[in-house]
Each structure stands twice: as structure tokens, then as C-alpha cells.
Structure 1
Amino acid sequence: MQRYPMTPEGKSALEKELQHLKTSERPRIIQAIAEAREHGDLKENAEYHAAREQQGFCEGRIQDIEAKLGASQVIDVNDLEKNGRVVFGVTVTIENLDTEEQKTYKIVGDDEADFKINKISVNSPIARGLLSKSEGEDTRITTPQGEVEYEIVSVQYL
């Protein structure tokens, strides 16, 4: 069985989304289907077909979340040994050795990743290139722009 690594915050966010889908979206969609049925002929009823499509997406997402939560492996960085190594859940600051530009990323699970807020997936090329490296160590990472050399400036267990 495939395990889905996630932070406690990521698990909480999925549980909240699941709760919202089950308690708000599902009843709203069922009501929309019932109202559309009252309009008569279902073959040419666009509202009915749209509601049924929404229902399919909603039920699919519910199943997806339930499967991920069931196979989740929650990793709390606070429970890990703080030895300066890059592991799942840490916040790492790296410096591009060519441009001297620094970036800070938090390494999270696939569902939590959001590059806009500097959360990168543990399966991303950058995270894979950083995992198990130590603070102060240099590493070469293959990115879409080519191979880039980075120095790990700091590792924070937040």
C-alpha cells in the first residue's frame, strides 16, 4: 500500500475539506439535483446534468481524501531528532551559489505543496536534491533551467 507522508497541518486541512464536502457541498448538490428534477424532462435539463456532474466531482474528491487519510503517514517534525539534516517537514534555506539568491522552503506532502507560499512537495526535484543533506553542505540539483548548485544555509525544525 502506498503511504502518503503529510504534516499534522496537512492532515488537518484534508480533514476540514472532507468535513466541508460531506456536510455542506454534498447536501447542496443533492438539493440542486432535486430542484432540477422538478423542472421536468431530464434529457434536455442542463441544470440537472450540471448538478450530476458536480456530484461526481464531489464524490470523487471525497473518496480521494478518504483514501489518502487512510494511507497517511503523519510526520511531526517536532518528534524528529534535530541533527541539522534535511528531512520531511523541515524548513530549509538554500542559496544559489551562482546568483547568491536565497530561498526558503518547507518540505511537505504532495497535497500540501504550494509554491506560492514556499511549500514544496517532498517529491519535487528540489526537495529530492536536498533530502538527507546537512546544513552547510553543497548540492547539485537538476531543475527545468538545468543543473544548479546550492548551499544549504539553514535547516529549521519548525
Structure 2
Amino acid sequence: MSLSVGSPAPDFDLPASTGKSLSLKDFHGKKLVIYFYPKDDTSGCTLEAQDFQKLLNDFHSAGITVIGVSPDSMKKHDKFCDKNNLTFPLLSDEEKVMLNAYGVWVEKSMYGRKYMGVERTTVLIDPNGKIAQIWPKVKVTGHAEEVLAAAKAL
């Protein structure tokens, strides 16, 4: 992964499920959790989104914003949000600009077949726009709780 703790977070400006675009500067002075996931409506991605949603009030009361990012279209994000009652923004990176900038668009392998995809990764950004923590190759179970604890401790 090209990112390292303490380095400035790469900027982004992408359409969000809130109906407007979001960029890194929108979160200046705030703690930000960005979780990158492969695809809307798959079992692991749905579980991860639901876990972050369940803890969203805890994140918000600690002054932490959560956003999810995948290469899915806004249309897919809107359906995914509606179906799972997600109230935090999902960003659409169909061009994979942000995914590449954060080093999460990688070659993967399944059943011997190689393909490009998102490596499930979460990044915690401090109020100054610096990377405070990185969770590569995330295992979904218990992950949202772990991120919340780390973000609160920041």
C-alpha cells in the first residue's frame, strides 16, 4: 500500500449518495473514517455497511464522520442505501481515481483467476488531514467496533 501513517491523505472529489460531491477539504478539522469496499449488495460489503450504520450514532457523538467508497455507480449506491437504511454517504469512484490514490485498487486472485478489484481497507484521517491509522485487508466481523475505538482514542 502506498499510504503510510502520518502522511497527508490524498485529496478526492467524488459524487456521494447524499446528492452532492464530497472532497477531503469538506472534512478539515474533523476525524474521518473512509472505508473502501469492493461491491454493493455482496454479503461481506452489506455486513460491513450495516455494522458501520449500527455504530453511526457512536461515531457521530465522538465527532467522527464515516464514508464508504467503492467503484459502483451512484444508481447502485442509492439502491444499496435504500435497501439497508444507510444514512452515511457512499462515494462512487467509477474512474478509480481515489481507489488508486489510496492504493486499494489492486490485482486480486480467486480460483486461480487474476483480476483488478478493491482490497477491503479502512483509513482513519485526523482533523489535520493526516493518516492516523490504516487497516489493510479488513476482516468484517468486529471491524467497525475496532475503528470506532481507534477513532475515539485519536
The TM-score range, normalised by the shorter chain, is under 0.3
Q: Which has the larger radius of gyration?
A: 1
TM-score by length of 1: 0.25
Q: Normalised by the size of structure 2, how large is the TM-score?
A: 0.26
